[in-house]
Amino acid sequence: MRITSLPLLSLATSLVGLTAALPHADPETVLRRQSKNQEKADAVKEAFQHAWKGYTKYAFPHDELRPVSNGYGDSRNGWGASAVDALSTAIIMGDTDAVNTILDFIPKIDFTKTSEEVSLFETTIRYLAGMLSGYDLLTGPASNLVRKSDQVDELLSQSKKLANVLKFAFDTPSGVPHNNLNITGRRTDGSSTNGLAVTGTLVLEWTRLSDLTGDDEYAKLSQKAQSYLLDPKPSSGEPFPGLVGSSINIKTGEFADGMVSWDGGDDSFYEYLIKMYVYDPKRFEKYKDRWVLAAQSTIKHLQAHPKPRPDLTFLSSYNNGKKYLSSQHLTCFDGGSFLLGGSVLDRQEFIDFGLELVHGCEATYNQTLTKIGPDSWGWDPEKVPNDQKDFYERAGFYISSGNYVLRPEVIESFYYAHRITGKEIVSYRDWVWNAFVAINATCRTDSGFAAITNVNTAHGGSKDDSQESFLYAEVLKYAYLAHAEDAPWQVQEGDKNAFVYNTEAHPMRVVRS
Ligand SMILES: *[C@@H]1O[C@H](CO)[C@@H](O)[C@H](O)[C@H]1NC(C)=O
Ligand SMILES: *[C@@H]1O[C@H](CO)[C@@H](O)[C@H](O)[C@H]1NC(C)=O
Ligand SMILES: *[C@@H]1O[C@H](CO)[C@@H](O)[C@H](O)[C@H]1NC(C)=O
């Protein structure tokens, strides 16, 4: 059955077995390792502060820095996306000055005004989550960083104001929201369907807002929308148990297709199923059951192994009886999701498969010239580009989009692998470090970090004048956390998590019974 995956599976299993078998390192070795890791965490913090300085000098309070021209952009409604997205990372790194600069700024944002269309999804995962996470951390384990305590309360009142601006999106016949909003005219773009990820990646943030304010309206809106994704109709919308289509009819709540993947557009729906259970196992048991079904069907129907490199595992996508042999950098959150689910539910088969996915994603990094992975790749023997035949035979995949736009998913899954396979196994942390060093060497500019055009040429081809706010929220946070000391906000094994990370890497405090 899964013959081709056995080499890695047994490797993964033996690695996990090794954790228990390792003799205790002597205290001096432990100390040396700790100070080495502290140095590495400090190097990641240096990168954050470099990019923060560039942003405050050239772009703040606009949404993002243009890291090549030292200009600015406003692609997220002009509310200061990079500042809000950077808050929880600045907190975790203990950068008191950055934290208080952002706390001074957030009460001044006017969320009722923008000249641009607003994405419900992007606004939820970056702004709403950034503020809620800041509130959870600063009223909890990081309260020592705050200079003016009333500004912490403002994080919650601004969150509520923002949600009140956005909530008309859910005012549809089914309760499935529209994603693209004109908030000044209180109109939507009128589309008839909404995507799986943009519908199914709101429930953590909107539920957290209700739990913190005691006003259950937000939780109800997001959970009603989610209910159609948990009980998919018609049956063509669920080709395999737990794996659902990619768009939903806004009028009826029914699935409009049966296209299945863990790629961009679908991805974080699956991510949030298990994270809701981590957030509150009492209320979200059904979400967990749906994640388990999806995970089992994924192992059975979507896993794929390239012909020339059967040791590698990637996730294919599926539509109408056909498997598509391609994947994306975005998809690489998958290893982390399997590892989190496997650990929380104590299911070794999910941990093993998560590690296989992590190894596949590492292969997309370590086979390129820059040691950074491409935005998308394929392994369909029929579609190998002529100029990549040798690369395909050696690497097991060919590059379909060779750019890298500062995405976090690969480092994110390495981080989960590091936290969950045991502290004695250093290789996954080393993979985080290697990826960080490569990004720092290839993407860094005088003011920040730039997207690059080709990961498989020296110096990454050319630099794009673009630095998404998730550089601060995600890439540098996960790279830092992998090397930082244990802390209440770190991902923990089993049922010990005190925080759960939203899809933009903003940690929210879980509900404790
Ligand atoms: C939103 O609607 C208002 C009022 O109807 C209109 O003036 C404005 O141009 C619209 N904004 C966008 C981004 O379409
Ligand atoms: C490259 O990736 C593979 C997994 O696909 C891994 O086994 C190997 O250790 C990696 N090489 C390095 C140098 O990290
Ligand atoms: C990151 O890049 C800067 C600038 O080139 C360099 O000074 C620093 O040492 C690099 N950090 C690491 C960890 O390689």
| Predicted confidence band of residue 34 (pLDDT cuts 50, 70, 90) | confident
Which pLDDT value is given to residue 17? 35
pLDDT digits (tens, 9 = 90+) for 217-273: 999 999 999 999 999 999 999 999 999 999 999 999 999 999 999 999 999 999 999
| Residues 496 and 108 sit within 8 Å (Cβ to Cβ) | no
- Residue 180, pLDDT above cutoff 80: yes
Tell me: the pLDDT tens digits for 37-86?
999 999 999 999 999 999 999 999 999 999 999 999 999 999 999 999 99
Distance 30 CA to ligand 3 centre (A): 26
Residue 13 reports pLDDT greater than 50: no
HEC letters along 224-268: HHHHHHHCCCCHHHCCECCECCCEEECCCCCECCCCECCCCCCHH
pLDDT of residue 24: 55
Of all protein residues, the one whose alpha carbon is nearest to atom 4 of ligand 1 is 185
Please check the confidence at residue 21 and state whether its pLDDT lies above 80. no
Which bound ligand lies closest to the C-alpha atom of 48? 3
pLDDT of 35 > 80? The answer is yes
Measured in Å, residue 44 CA sits from the centre of ligand 3 at 9
Torsion angle (degrees, nearest 10) of CA 79, 85, 88, 91: -70
**Residue 88 region by backbone torsions, left for phi larger than 0, else alpha for psi between -120 and 50, else beta:** alpha
Ligand nearest the Cα of residue 119 is 1
113-156 pLDDT, tens digit per residue, is 999 999 999 999 999 999 999 999 999 999 999 999 999 999 99
Protein residues whose CB sits closer than 6 Å to any atom of ligand 3: 43, 437, 440, 444
pLDDT at position 16, please? 37
Ligand 1 centroid – CA 276 distance (Å): 35
Position 420, amino acid: I
The pLDDT assigned to 33 comes to 77
Q: Do residues 508 and 133 lie in contact, with contact meaning Cβ atoms separated by under 8 Å?
A: yes
Would you state the pLDDT for residue 25?
Answer: 62
Task: Kindly give the number of the ligand 1 atom that is closest to the alpha carbon of 185.
Answer: 2
Task: In whole angstroms, give the CA distance from residue 186 to residue 477.
Answer: 35
Q: 62-93 as b/e, with b when 16 or more CB fall inside 10 Å?
A: bbbbbbbebebbbebbbbbbbbbbbbbbbbbb
Q: Is 172 annotated as a binding residue?
A: no
Closest CA relative to residue 138, chosen from 510, 512, 509? 509
What is the number of the ligand 3 atom nearest to the C-alpha of 44? 13
Q: What is the mean pLDDT of the chain?
A: 94
Per-residue pLDDT at 10: 35
Report pLDDT for 513: 57
Ligand 1 contacts (CB < 6 A) are 116-117, 182, 184-185
Dist. CA 462 → ligand 3 center (Å): 19
Residue whose CA is closest, atom 14 of ligand 3? 437
Mutate to test the pocket of ligand 3, among 44, 439, 440, 459 (most ligand atoms within 8 A of CB): 440
What pLDDT score was predicted for residue 425?
A: 60
* pLDDT (average), residues 296-325: 98
Catalytic status, residue 136: no
Average pLDDT (85-97) is: 98
What values do phi and psi take at 238, rounded to 5? Answer: -135, 75
Q: Find the mean pLDDT for residues 361-365.
A: 98
Catalytic residue among 171, 375, 446, 464: 375
Ligand 3 nearest-atom number relative to CA 440: 1
Q: Which atom of ligand 2 is nearest to the CA of 367?
A: 1
Burial class (CB in 10 A: 0-12, 13-18, 19+), 422: middle
The closest residue, in CA terms, to atom 8 on ligand 1 is: 185
CA of 373 to the centre of ligand 3 (A): 20
